[in-house]
Amino acid sequence: MKNLPIGVFDSGMGGISVLREIKKLMPNEDYIYYGDSKNIPYGKKTKEELEKICLEIGDYFVNRGVKSIVIACNTATSAVVDKFRSRYKIPIIGIEPALKPAVQMYESGKIVVLATEVTLKEKKFNSLMNQYRGEAEILKIPAPRLVTVVESGITQGVEAEESIKELFKDININEISSIVLGCTHYIFLRNAIKKALGENVKLIDGGYGTAHNLKTILSSMDMLSNNDTNGCVEVVNSSEDESKIELSYKLLNI
């Protein structure tokens, strides 16, 4: 059981950003990464559609014999994490917008949460947001275009920067305290966001917290690998476009 792989999935290549953090923390583990680029964007789908899609991926992982599943997608976590935990008898780790650390470091101004429409509408996120509503002004901005940009392999340059500027065209950036990157795709746009909005903007994501949570849970269950060499990563993608796999490996090694 200890040396079984860990399954990680996302709507496409965004979850690679979470896998990078996990791999840094647990380099001796083996991983299977499933990018569901065929069904992207998750943010435009109904909850029922997402449940069907994600449960098929969950079943795939279980049939592959993973010891844990990481839902490295805010949208999918909002829609299916409870279903996964009732269906599968292995540790299930989800991810959510890193609003708590943003509030903890809050001083003044507005906290912007960039995410998909589904994440921002879900009860799970709005319950989280309501916990902190009295402590900070929180602004929700849906940003589906940024997912498409990253899936196209664009993480910097004019197109990326213009897509970001468009989101903030009616907002005074000097009034922003921090920006929560509530979709794992957006993390690959860190440099582009800084160029578009200024170097002083604080960017916060949940990748490290998710990795740390996974390690804590596996350790408590005595499920950490006892391999003394670096583990391997297998990338699978639902799309017939083989370049998606190639790009995923490239993003993993940045």
Summarize pLDDT for 113-134 with one digit per residue, the tens. 999 888 888 887 888 888 888 8
Mean pLDDT of the chain: 92
Q: Where are the domains of the chain?
A: 6-95+207-252, 99-204
Q: What is the mean pLDDT of residues 169-192?
A: 92
> How many whole angstroms separate alpha carbon 95 and alpha carbon 58?
16
Q: Which CATH architecture has domain 99-204?
A: 3-Layer(aba) Sandwich (3.40)
User: What is the DSSP code (8-state) at residue 39?
Assistant: G
42 is in an annotated binding site: yes
> How many whole angstroms separate alpha carbon 122 and alpha carbon 77?
10
| pLDDT value at residue 165 | 94
> How many whole angstroms separate alpha carbon 232 and alpha carbon 211?
17
Q: Which two tokens stand for residue 56?
A: 């098929």
15 is in an annotated binding site: no
Asked if the domains at 6-95+207-252 and 99-204 fall in one CATH topology, the answer is: yes
185 is in an annotated binding site: yes
54 given a catalytic annotation? no
Summarize pLDDT for 48-68 with one digit per residue, the tens. 999 999 999 999 999 999 999
- CATH of segment(s) 6-95+207-252: 3.40.50.1860
| pLDDT value at residue 84 | 97
> How many whole angstroms separate alpha carbon 183 and alpha carbon 117?
11
- Nearest one of 27, 4, 5 to 252, comparing CA atoms: 27
Give the DSSP H/E element, type plus range, for residue 115: strand 110-115
Summarize pLDDT for 129-164 with one digit per residue, the tens. 888 888 888 999 999 899 989 988 899 999 999 999
Summarize pLDDT for 69-102 with one digit per residue, the tens. 999 998 899 889 999 999 999 999 999 888 888 8
Q: Which two tokens stand for residue 246?
A: 């190639």
Among the listed residues 16, 32, 73, 233, the single catalytic one is: 73
pTM of the model: 0.89
232 given a catalytic annotation? no
| pLDDT value at residue 201 | 87
Please enumerate in sequence order all residues whose Cβ is within 8 A of that of 129, keeping only pairs 6 or more positions apart, or say none: 99, 113, 138, 140
Q: Helix (H, G, I), strand (E, B), or coil: what is residue 21?
A: helix
Among the listed residues 6, 183, 235, 251, the single catalytic one is: 183
75 is in an annotated binding site: yes
| pLDDT value at residue 35 | 96
207 is in an annotated binding site: no
Please determine, for residue 254, whether its predicted confidence score (pLDDT) is greater than 60. no
